[in-house]
Chains A and B, each alone.
Chain A
Amino acid sequence: MSNKRLNLLSVWAAVSAVLILAGIVLMAVLGFNTSLDRPEGKIFDVHYNVVVDLSEESRSSLETYCEDAFADAGIAYTDVVTLEGQSDPVSPDQGAFTATGNDFVLRYTFAADVSDEALAAAKTAVEASIAGDEAFLLPAETYVSYDTFTLQAMNESMWRGAVAVAVAAIVALIYVAVRFGIGSALTGLVACVNDAFLTLAVFAIARIPVYAFAPMLYAAVAAVLSAIFWLIRCMKLRDDAKEPSAGTFSAEESVANAVRATDKIVWAVAGILLALLAVCALCTVMTGAAAVFAGALVPVAAALYSSMLLAPALHVKVKARFDAMKRRHARYEGKKKSVKANQEN
């Protein structure tokens, strides 16, 4: 199996290229599915100012009026919250808001494609229901409104994140070049770039819902894991290169041996991370944080893919080229000291 996957570079490269290109196109055209951040939608607000006291019963009847009105209008909301009004401090120096204690908003959020006509009908129905309820005559002033909202993009954090991941990966791989050779660094760089882009591409293509900050976080996770997984391979390659028999192996055999020896630890680390993220996602399944953990499974899978398939197959070619260059530039091709010593003994 090991040798077979090392000979399929064109297949792995094609898979990555197709996914990444499709992902880049979709990123450019549609961006990511940031529906968790509610980029656009409509809100239906029932403001109520409690003059004397509004019983819990009246508060819940407000919700009933709204839900009946939405059902009659044939629309369904995606979220409902009760917000507490805040009073402005006397001056900006005071800094913090304070609760007024009597201003509230019952806010329903709808998808952007819900019609204004339906919301207007619901508004009229809710106003009529409140007007017909004597419980609201004295204790509270109510007001019903609806609006459309569109989130404004703050792109600086996005591009700064992308630059940060790229610079960090390059600098880390310069270290790899110093410690393990330029060939290893080049393969590692390709793997890092591939994994970061592949992760972003999977999110763009599969339209997986993410928070706006998340894609760059996932790209960074992919780059870190990719670097670690490749480092594990590099360490074994370097250890093998110190063996007396190293010179007798072709690039393909060297890489195959190293990959075979380190597969277990790469699978183990990836397995631990996947299990850990799955546990975190399960533990937080009732909260919004679950989406962040579940999404983090993608960069781990992407790094595992490139570490198992793409990077070793690529490194066979890179190592062969670098080995050939080394041989061309070698002044004297003699036996290694250790081999000589063995023969003398």
Chain B
Amino acid sequence: MSKKKSVILLVIYTLVIAALCFICTVSFSYGTDNLYTFSSVMRMMEKDADLGLAYGANAEAGAYLGGGYSAVYYPEGVISAKEYADNIEGMSEDEAAEYAADYVRYPDESGSVYLEKGIACDENGAMTDSFREAFSSALATVTARYAGLRVDGARVEAVGDYAIGVFLPAMMDGEYTAISLFAYTGELDVRSGSDEASATSIFTIRPNQTIRDYVQRVTSRTGGDTAYVEFVFTDAGREALATATAGAADTAVTLYFFVGDTSVLSLSVSEVYDQNTLYISGSYTAETANTVAVLFSTALDGTEEDLTLTPADAYFHTALYGGSALIMLYVAFGVFFVAMMAFFFIRYRRLGFVHLYTYLLFLFAMILCGWSIPFLYLSVETFLAFLLTSVLLCVSNAVTFESARREYALGKTMATCVKTGYKKCFWKLFDAHIVVAVIGFLVYAIALTSLQTAGFVLGLGAAFSGIATLAVNRFGWAVMMGTSKRQGAFCNFKREETEDE
């Protein structure tokens, strides 16, 4: 490559790196009173709620978000002692006495809840076995629902043996939607009629049958920008649906999808529907469609005896790892970056710039993917996977440099030693990257939540590292070396010394 061509390419290469660096890392405010803000890709990249600090595209500079929301589900027959105190405060003496007669403080005089006699406890204040059983069932259902959301950091706690505490990280568009919908208990039912109140079930469930004899499963799907809830009916369910919508061509029929006594969604049908699968899209996002599908899916095992739950006591929690965790991750990366570059510059002199450019391209490609791929976010787990692939890239580049150094020592020209060096280690590097990428993408395909995203980052990082070390690094080497007359000195390579006889 001629020197002129090398300089032109190097300038273009440097400008591309500088532009990417600016886009990915620089944020600033501008305009009158700093009205407008230019947000870097790094800032816009979604972050794990555990890390705190600014989250999401609209976060203001320095805004503390992250964390999550907790709420407590109180079953029917249970109220918090605070609510009890609030209720009784405004009552007259007689009313208060009457009200107090219906409740017993639980589990003792200092307890945090009151149980309603006849519902949660007997006349003596002892919790009934039927309530205990119903509470265990409700706890299992709520746990299954939050697990079904597959949100990293979601948790469900039993509060004593009388309430259910839930927590959702602030990584969703609608935490309240999930917390509110997941309080609905009871059996799934599909009803038709002119309005919710008068609608009747389209299924004729016999005593030895359940809703599962009519509805096989409920899932959510996303196609392009449209998310929808998918109902898969059995043949009996399909028949019932066809019967219910038989007159829809003349008069539109409205189907109401109930969980217990609550209508969750309605669907207007204007023709006979005679298929096993029913898709309902509406205005769902992938997240809300999943929430609704999880609710319906768990309601397939619901019963009329399920406890009614009331969500209350919602609070915002700060990030699990603390407010400075994200900054500290950046600091750790800075230390790694400085150590890496010190090694490359000391051992390879100006060849270190080739690695620097390659690494920066790899870094910015990872940042852009982290921002643009919807399910990716910056977390400790993904950071760990990114670091693993960074080490892979550094070691791969060092291996190619060392391979070329050995060839140079034998007396070959620089162009030949780069070519031979790459040839000798190509398949080694290829194998290493393929193995890591396969492991990463397979873990992504099978695992859930944080391990899933970490697996994807590992696979993606291995793919980028492979391209960077086998193609980008070689290109950069050719471009930068073309600007130097003393190519051996450029790379800090030395010839093997031979004694003259």
Q: Which residues of A contact B (CB under 8 A)?
A: 37, 47, 81, 83-89, 92-97, 99, 105, 116, 119-120, 123-124, 143, 145-154, 156-157, 160-161, 163-165, 167-169, 171-172, 175-176, 179, 213, 216-217, 220-221, 223-224, 227-228, 231-232, 235, 265, 268-269, 272-273, 276, 279-280, 283-284, 286-289, 292-293, 296
The one of A92, A179, A286 in contact with B324, judged by C-beta atoms closer than 8 angstroms, is A286
Name B168's closest neighbour in chain A (CB-CB).
Answer: A97
A235 close to B380 (CB less than 8 A): no
- CA gap between A289 and B380 in the complex, in Å: 7
B381 within 8 A of A: yes
- CA gap between A127 and B85 in the complex, in Å: 14
Residues of B within 8 A of A88 (CB): 176, 180, 311, 314
The one of B112, B176, B318 in contact with A97, judged by C-beta atoms closer than 8 angstroms, is B176
Taking CB atoms and an 8 Å cut-off, the chain B residues in 309-333 that contact chain A are 311, 313-318, 320-322, 324-325, 328-329, 331-332
Residues of A within 8 A of B82 (CB): 47, 143, 145
The one of A145, A276, A280 in contact with B391, judged by C-beta atoms closer than 8 angstroms, is A276
Taking CB atoms and an 8 Å cut-off, the chain B residues in 145-168 that contact chain A are 146-147, 150, 152, 154-160, 163, 165
B499 within 8 A of A: no
Name B165's closest neighbour in chain A (CB-CB).
Answer: A149
Name B459's closest neighbour in chain A (CB-CB).
Answer: A168
- CA gap between A88 and B315 in the complex, in Å: 10
B325 close to A161 (CB less than 8 A): no
Identify which of A153, A272, A284, A292 gathers the most chain B CB atoms within 10 Å of its CB: A284
- CA gap between A287 and B391 in the complex, in Å: 24
- The answer to whether residues A289 and B176 also contact, given A99-B316, A152-B139 and a CB cut-off of 8 A, is no
Name A227's closest neighbour in chain B (CB-CB).
Answer: B435
- CA gap between A103 and B331 in the complex, in Å: 36
- The 6 sampled A-B contact pairs (Cβ below 8 Å) are A88-B311, A96-B173, A97-B69, A146-B112, A152-B155, A164-B445
Residues of A within 8 A of B95 (CB): none
Q: Give min CB distance, B309 to chain A, whole Å.
A: 14
Residues of A within 8 A of B165 (CB): 149
B101 within 8 A of A: no
Q: Give min CB distance, B156 to chain A, whole Å.
A: 4
- CA gap between A127 and B481 in the complex, in Å: 77
- The answer to whether residues A216 and B447 also contact, given A276-B336, A293-B380 and a CB cut-off of 8 A, is yes
Name B335's closest neighbour in chain A (CB-CB).
Answer: A279
- CA gap between A280 and B384 in the complex, in Å: 9
Name B152's closest neighbour in chain A (CB-CB).
Answer: A213
The one of A116, A152, A161, A223 in contact with B143, judged by C-beta atoms closer than 8 angstroms, is A152
- CA gap between A224 and B428 in the complex, in Å: 16
5 tightest Cβ-Cβ pairs between the two chains A and B: A95-B174, A164-B446, A288-B321, A168-B442, A164-B447
B176 close to A269 (CB less than 8 A): no
B388 within 8 A of A: yes
- CA gap between A269 and B392 in the complex, in Å: 9
Taking CB atoms and an 8 Å cut-off, the chain B residues in 419-443 that contact chain A are 428, 431-432, 434-436, 438-440, 442-443
16 new A-B contacts at CB < 8 Å, known A276-B391, A284-B325: A95-B175, A95-B176, A97-B176, A97-B316, A157-B447, A160-B448, A161-B448, A213-B449, A217-B384, A217-B451, A220-B451, A269-B391, A273-B391, A279-B339, A280-B329, A296-B384
Residues of A within 8 A of B339 (CB): 279
- The answer to whether residues A167 and B442 also contact, given A86-B315, A288-B50 and a CB cut-off of 8 A, is yes
- CA gap between A280 and B336 in the complex, in Å: 9
Residues of A within 8 A of B81 (CB): 143, 145
- CA gap between A171 and B439 in the complex, in Å: 8
- The answer to whether residues A175 and B434 also contact, given A85-B315, A152-B143, A217-B451 and a CB cut-off of 8 A, is yes
B158 close to A81 (CB less than 8 A): no
The one of A119, A151, A179 in contact with B431, judged by C-beta atoms closer than 8 angstroms, is A179
